């Protein structure tokens, strides 16, 4: 394996944006220093035909806008923060209101619109670095961030997130990759079979803010403990699905805290492609691309609603405002490391 670096575009101020591609001879993955975004994932089907299973754009120009956050590293806090505010150690902090009265993905000054520093590590990895100063996006503390992508010989993309802060600060970072195992241009994912190893989920209100409850999936359309196709229950009149226009919720994973265990799986029968997701984080946001709305992507393809799914490993959403949830707070001077692995298979 080797890391190939090539020109991908330029920032508005002229700084060069680069694309880094790693190929292990079976699959290949590409990443850019613009936002530390995961740009492509080439995976063969059961007949050996390669397809890119990530939705996205052809060049940096698309990622400079990237409304859906295709492949993005999202932080400091991914997902939603209710009321765009929180209190930590007796001090109140206000974030930008970019989703009604709430905050989404710590915008509007998103990490995925910034140029990260990049360095290659050996023949199979690339590391992206970002310094987020005290007060950035409204958060306390200077946060130093490292995101390492590794493509393994076993066809897995391993993501290692490492952060340190000089003050207590909440951190909930994820990767917002949109997958379609039939290929990014193959349309609806309703026939993709999904399993999520979770007995419970965190319900939300009409604005997708967690209510603070943790509910059992048993007896509801949110039950993916036994594999089923995405289309099986996505048309249900269950209020959680109706409010989100599909699945867009956090599942509370069954594995022990801090253990990098199997979180979710997906299988596309027509191509034979499959994937497993492992993480040491307590939750995963399963999102079915409910608001893609004809976004123009790679090769001019129009990405419609439910043409992809996301497995966003994470702390529970809005956990900074719900002390009963696992805490997202990184203590000052303490290194905080989390891991997620997306493992791809073909020929099943």
Residues catalogued as catalytic:
176, 312
- Which of 142, 141, 159 has the alpha carbon at shortest distance from 150? 159
Instruction: Let me know if 215 is exposed, middle or buried by CB neighbors in 10 A (0-12, 13-18, 19+).
Output: middle
DSSP code per residue over 29-89:
EEEETBTTEEEEEEEE-TTS-EEE-B---SSHHHHTT-TT-TTEEE-SB-SEEGGGEEEET
Lookup: tokens for 91? 């001090």
Cα 114 from Cα 121, distance rounded (Å)? 21
Residue with tokens 């220093």, as numbered in its chain: 33
- Which residue has 């001090």 as its token pair? 91
The alpha carbon of 42 is separated from its chain's Cα centroid by a whole number of angstroms, namely 18
CA–CA gap between residue 126 and residue 157 (Å, rounded): 11
Residue 135 to residues 36, 101, 319, Cα–Cα distance (Å): 21, 20, 20
């Amino acid at each position: 394996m080797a890391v190939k670096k090539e020109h991908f575009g330029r920032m508005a101020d002229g700084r060069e944006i680069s694309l880094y591609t790693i190929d292990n001879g079976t699959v290949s993955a590409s990443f850019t220093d613009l936002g530390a975004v995961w740009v492509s994932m080439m995976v063969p089907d059961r007949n050996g035909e390669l397809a890119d299973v990530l939705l996205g754009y052809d060049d940096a120009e698309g990622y400079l806008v990237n409304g859906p956050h295709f492949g993005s590293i999202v932080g400091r806090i991914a997902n939603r923060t209710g009321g765009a505010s929180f209190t930590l150690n007796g001090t109140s902090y206000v974030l930008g209101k970019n989703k009604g009265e709430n905050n989404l993905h710590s915008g509007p000054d998103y990490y995925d619109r910034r140029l990260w520093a990049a360095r290659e590590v050996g023949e199979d990895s690339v590391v992206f670095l970002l310094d987020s100063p005290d007060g950035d996006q409204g958060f306390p503390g200077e946060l130093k961030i490292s995101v390492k992508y590794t493509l393994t010989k076993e066809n897995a993309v391993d993501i290692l997130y490492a952060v340190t802060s000089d003050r207590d600060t909440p951190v909930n970072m994820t990767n917002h990759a949109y997958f379609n195992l039939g290929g990014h241009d193959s349309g609806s994912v309703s026939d993709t079979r999904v399993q999520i190893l979770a007995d419970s989920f965190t319900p939300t209100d009409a604005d997708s803010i967690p209510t603070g409850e943790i509910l059992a999936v048993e007896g509801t359309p949110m039950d993916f403990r036994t594999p089923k196709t995405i289309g099986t229950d996505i048309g249900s009149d269950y209020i959680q699905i109706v409010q989100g226009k599909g699945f867009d919720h956090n599942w509370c994973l069954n594995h022990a805290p801090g253990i990098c265990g199997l979180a979710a799986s997906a299988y596309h029968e027509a191509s034979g492609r499959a994937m497993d997701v492992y993480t040491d984080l307590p939750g995963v946001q399963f999102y079915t691309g409910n608001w893609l709305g004809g976004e123009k992507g790679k090769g001019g393809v129009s990405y419609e609603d439910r043409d992809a799914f996301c497995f966003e490993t994470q702390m529970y959403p809005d956990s900074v405002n719900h002390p009963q949830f696992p805490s997202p707070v990184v203590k000052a001077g303490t290194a905080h490391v989390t891991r997620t692995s997306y493992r791809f298979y073909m020929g099943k």
